[in-house]
Every structure is written in C-alpha cells, then in structure tokens.
Amino acid sequence: MKHDPTQVSASPGDASWDPIPTDPSHRAYVTMLFNRHRLALQRYLMRLVPPDDAAELVQESYYRLLRHGEMVRIDAMARSFLFQTATNLARDHHRRRASHRAALHVPIEDEEISEDHLGPDEQLAGEQTRALLERAIAELPQDTRTVFLLHRFRELTYPQIADVMSLSARTVARKMAEAIERLSAAVSGAT
Amino acid sequence: MSLPRGDLKAADWFAQVRSGEMDPDSEQSWLRWIKDDAHQRSLEDCELAWELAAELRNTPTLAALLAGADSLTARRRAAAARRTWRAPAWQLGIAASFIAVGAIAWLFLKGPATTEYRTAVGEQHTVLLPDGSSVVLNTDSLMRVALSKHLRHIELLRGEALFSVSHDPGRPFEVHALQGITTAVGTQFDVEITRAGAAVSVLEGTVTVGGGAAGTSAPAVAVAAGSGVGYTQEGAVSDLRPAEVNRIEGWRTQRMVFNDIPLASALEEYNRYTRTPIVLSSPALGSRRINGVFHIGDEAAFLSALDVGLHLKAAKGDAQTVLKPEAGYSP
C-alpha cells in the first residue's frame, strides 16, 4: 500500500491524516519511540541520502512502523528495528532514483527489499566506504570475523554460533562487540 | 551479559541488543545511556556499519570469507550428523540444500568418490565442498566433483558455476569444461559453457586456462582478477578480455543486468532461466538495444518492460512466447 505523497508532510501524532486503522496503544508506543529517536534517525539518514530525501524518509519510516502492527516494546530493540526499516526505505528510494535514469523502468514492488538480493542500484555505500568496510572485515581477527559473518550473513543466533565454534555465548557477544567496534571505526568518517 | 552497565560502549550495547537478551532492567540502563549525545553518535556509527556491511555480501572478498565461515558450519554439521540423526532446526536448511541438489551426503564421509550436482532450469544452488571451497551452480547446470589428496577435480558438463576456491597450494583445483581446463590454487572465478565454447571470468586471484585435449600445444594462459578469456569447443583460447563482473554479480543475486545490449543477446540470457523461451517474430528486432535490471523468473515484469519500452507485444504459446511489434510501430 502506498500513501499519497502529497500527504507526507503530516506530522507524527497528527490524527487528521490516518488512513491506517491502528491500535491506539501501538500508535502511542510508535509515536513515543519516534519522538525519542527522530533526531538520531534524521542524522543517520542524512549520511545515506540527500538532506531533503532524509526528511521525507523519516516520515515514511514512521508510517511504516505504524502499519507494521505489534513490535517488541523494548526501546533498544525497537530502535534497531526503526533504523533497519529506515535503511530499507532508503535503499528502495535509491533504487527508484536509479531506475528513473534507466531507459526501461523496472517496476518497483511494494514489498520491502530483501538485503539478500541487492542489485548494483540499491547500494547506499559509496565506493570508498565499501572499500574501507571490506578491508576492516578482512582484517578482523579470525574468530571475531567468523562470529560476525555467521551472525550478519547467515543469521545464526549467538547460542548457535557458540555451538558451532565451541565458545560460550558470552564470548560470542564479546566478539560481536569487538567486530562492530572496529567496523564502526571504519565507517565513522563516512557521510 | 553481566558487564558493568555504566562502562558499556556503543558496540557493547549494540551486541547486547542483537543477542535478544534485553530485560526491563537493562532497558532502564540503556535509556540513561542513550541520553548522551556522544553515545547516540557512536551508536549511529555501529548501526551504519551493520547496515552497510550487508551490501558487501556479494563482493569477491566477502564471498571468499563467507565460504570459509560456511565450511566451519558444514564441518560441524557433518560431525553432528555422525553423532546423532537429530539436528537443530537451523541446520536442516543447510542439510536440505544438499539433498536438493541430489548429492548423497554420506559419500563425502566415505572417500574420494565422484559426487554429482545438478540444477534444473531456473534453479540455483550453493554447494559447500569438504575442502572449504564453495560453488554456486547457475540455472540448468551439471557438475561432477572428485576430491583426492593431491587434486581437486571438477568437471562442468553443462551450464555455469561460480567457484570460490579455498587456498591449498598442494592440491590444485581444476575445472574441466569442454576441451579446456581452468586451474586455480585459491581464488574466485566463473566458468560458463555457451553455444560457442566456454567463458572464464576471474574475480579474485589468478587462474591458468589451457586446452586439455591431447595434441594441444599452446601453453596455458594466466588470467588475473578482473580479466577473462573464452575458448572454443576444441579448446583454442582467446585473447584476454574484461571479466563479466556485472553479469555474474547479477545472476548471483537472481537478477539480469542489461546495460545497453542488443535485444537478441538479452533474450538469449533470459531464456537460460525458463522452459518457455521468448522468441522474436522477426530477427531484425534483435538489434534493438535494451537497458534494465530484471528479476530472474519474473516474466510479467520483463514482458511489460518490453511492451512499454520497445513497443513489443507478447503472444504466449505453450512452448514459447513470441514478441511482435505493436501495430503502428514498425521495426
């Protein structure tokens, strides 16, 4: 379902525009979550798309969460879901832009893009960021890298990784933190 | 996780959230921590790194690293299978993919027999080999694998495969296709059997390509990353040319990437993935140019793009779909 783009300026909490039947408690939770993380989200999106598009994607993320139905009401997890949703929307947006430039248009499906099947047009990372990130992953200590790869790309949970690698779940969490710390250092300068 | 909460850094919090172990207590600490703007910013770096890393999935470097991580889970799975028939649900998916390609898993455990892998038209499968290498078989392909102590012998009889070879200087990895042999030690490359012969593209490292038939005297050609060669049915090797990076990245992500190529070439590629090929009512139409990215198997989207962009109408039959120029638009 697509919303009318002319309505994008409606602000969160604005009950005058609400085509989505929403459970009031879900709506209240999403609005609270959104108000708490809105600035961070906007800042984050501005590193991925031009500023005007970022503002639009912030709104779109809010509506997407409203439509999503129930979500885990633990702030840290909900925030991570919010950022993931926003990133997917940014990819979608990027792809739309790219396909406008192509001579033949690829029809844009309404479903969210799965990150498993990213085409060249949906990449948000610039050449330099990709190179830095790729090198940072390759240079992770081997165990740390394996933990990261299995969690990121094979969707194994910490206990599953612990089992495969004969480590404790605690060690897996510590290695994940180490991996993320190093990779975040690699992208920290990226806009 | 019982780290002292006050000392948690952004990456620690990120890792803890991903563990799924957040209770109302840790949520309270988290809410206090996130109030600090510097904390927010370092968390955004973590989130950015996590999201952008996803986009590297299909780069040669990541594919090779992933193949290494996969071989670890494959070994573990094989060990678990020997101990007991019960496997956790997450391992069943990996097991199922072995069964799906028709491999008989216990052959692996019993010795260097030849194992055959095949994909149907429109199907793709990733095969993890016991040496840590991985092979992605494209549509309508047939491959035989025999691993011995001193040689990894692969025979590609039909179709196309992308090889990520684990490094083992003592055991060359040889891909035999038609009358040519591509030899690697540890690298990533693609071999496609085409109508005219075979095409080799190297994505990482270096391979050598040479004619395998008796009487071929030409020396093997070294092909480095970013380059490729073709060879004829008889094994005569062409000059170096650029590797088909875009096409290979495309099929690996179930997409066809057409960058201003003749319609005839695009249809040839499209028809590799379908049992009801699309043909042209007149060969002259084949010289029209086409651009775009299409999901493999999404016939409706492809036909509608041809309709809108090139004014070609599709007439569907049982055996094939014929494209005709729309009335009023002559070729």
Domain edges within chain B: 5-56, 82-245, 254-325
DSSP-derived 3-state class of residue B198: strand
Of A117, A137, A158, the residue that ends a domain is A117
Whether residues A180 and B49 touch (CB distance < 8 A) is answered with yes
Q: Residue A26: is its pLDDT beyond 70?
A: yes
Residue type, A3: H
- Residue B107's pLDDT band (boundaries 50, 70, 90)? very low
Smallest CA–CA separation between B266 and chain A, in Å?
A: 13
Q: Which of A166-175, B149-158, B212-221, B230-239 has the lowest mean pLDDT?
A: B212-221
- Picking from B163, B155, B159, B123, the residue whose alpha carbon sits closest to that of residue B141 is B159
Same domain (yes/no): A68, A154: no
- Residue B64's pLDDT band (boundaries 50, 70, 90)? confident
The answer to whether A152 faces chain B, any CB pair under 8 Å, is: yes
| Rounded average pLDDT over B173-184 | 89
Which among B15, B19, B57 is the nearest to A153, CB-wise?
B57
Domain total of chain A: 2
Which among A75, A119, A165 is the nearest to B253, CB-wise?
A119
What rounded mean pLDDT belongs to chain B? 80
Q: Which of A16-25, A71-80, B7-16, B221-230 has the lowest mean pLDDT?
A: A16-25
Distance, CA of B82 to chain centre: 29
Same domain (yes/no): A112, A56: yes
Same domain (yes/no): A109, A32: yes
B residues 87-126 closer than 8 Å to A (CB): 88, 90
Whether residues A44 and B27 touch (CB distance < 8 A) is answered with no
- Picking from B67, B47, B48, the residue whose alpha carbon sits closest to that of residue B57 is B67
What is the model's pLDDT at position B94? 43
* Residue B292: half-sphere exposure toward Cβ, Cα within 13 Å: 25
Same domain (yes/no): A107, A150: no
| Rounded average pLDDT over B131-158 | 88
Buried b (16+ CB within 10 A) or exposed e, B66-96: bbbbbbbbbeebbebbeeeeeeeebbeebbe
- Residue B96's pLDDT band (boundaries 50, 70, 90)? very low
Same domain (yes/no): A130, A97: no
Dihedral pair phi/psi, residue B144, rounded to 5°:
-120, 135
CATH, domain range B254-325: 3.55.50.30
| Rounded average pLDDT over A88-104 | 73
Check: CB of residue A22 under 8 Å from CB of residue A66. yes
Residues of chain A with C-beta less than 8 angstroms from the C-beta of B8: none
Same domain (yes/no): A44, A132: no
Same domain (yes/no): A170, A88: no
Give the domain extent around A161.
Answer: 125-187
Q: Scanning every residue of chain B, which has its alpha carbon at the shortest distance from the alpha carbon of A85?
A: B51
Which pair of structure tokens corresponds to residue A44? Answer: 């984050």
Distance CA(B9)–CA(B87), nearest Å, equals: 36
Of A117, A152, A169, the residue that ends a domain is A117
Which pair of structure tokens corresponds to residue A145? Answer: 């890298």
Residues of chain A with C-beta less than 8 angstroms from the C-beta of B13: 76
Whether residues B69 and A146 touch (CB distance < 8 A) is answered with yes
CATH, domain range B82-245: 2.60.120.1440
Give the helix ranges, DSSP H, for B54-197: 60-83, 89-100, 105-110
Which pair of structure tokens corresponds to residue A138? Answer: 């390759």
Q: Which of A8-22, A30-44, B75-89 has the lowest mean pLDDT?
A: A8-22
Please list the residues that pair with B241 across neighbouring strands. B228
A residues 30-69 closer than 8 Å to B (CB): 40, 43-44, 47
- The domain that holds A145 is classified in CATH as 1.10.10.10
Check: CB of residue B209 under 8 Å from CB of residue B231. yes
The answer to whether A143 faces chain B, any CB pair under 8 Å, is: no
Question: If 0-12 CB within 10 Å is exposed, 13-18 middle and 19+ buried, where does residue B22 land?
Answer: buried
| B89-100 and B60-83 helices, crossing angle to 10° | 100
Residues of chain A with C-beta less than 8 angstroms from the C-beta of B61: 134, 137-138
Same domain (yes/no): A58, A145: no
Same domain (yes/no): A22, A100: yes
Q: What is the per-residue pLDDT across B190-244, written as a single tens digit (0 to 9) for each? A: 999 988 889 999 988 888 888 765 445 567 788 988 899 999 888 888 889 999 9
Q: Residue B158: is its pLDDT beyond 80?
A: yes
What is the model's pLDDT at position B156? 94
Which segments within chain A are labelled E, that is strand?
none
What is the model's pLDDT at position B198? 93
Count of Cβ atoms closer than 10 Å to residue B218 Cβ:
10
Same domain (yes/no): A34, A92: yes
Same domain (yes/no): A71, A133: no
- Picking from B157, B195, B148, the residue whose alpha carbon sits closest to that of residue B176 is B157
Same domain (yes/no): A92, A174: no
Which pair of structure tokens corresponds to residue A84? Answer: 């993931």
| Rounded average pLDDT over B95-107 | 38
pTM of the model: 0.49
Of A76, A97, A117, the residue that ends a domain is A117
Residues of chain B with C-beta less than 8 angstroms from the C-beta of A77: 17, 20, 22
What is the model's pLDDT at position A69? 67
Q: Which of A21-30, B89-98, B136-145 has the lowest mean pLDDT?
A: B89-98
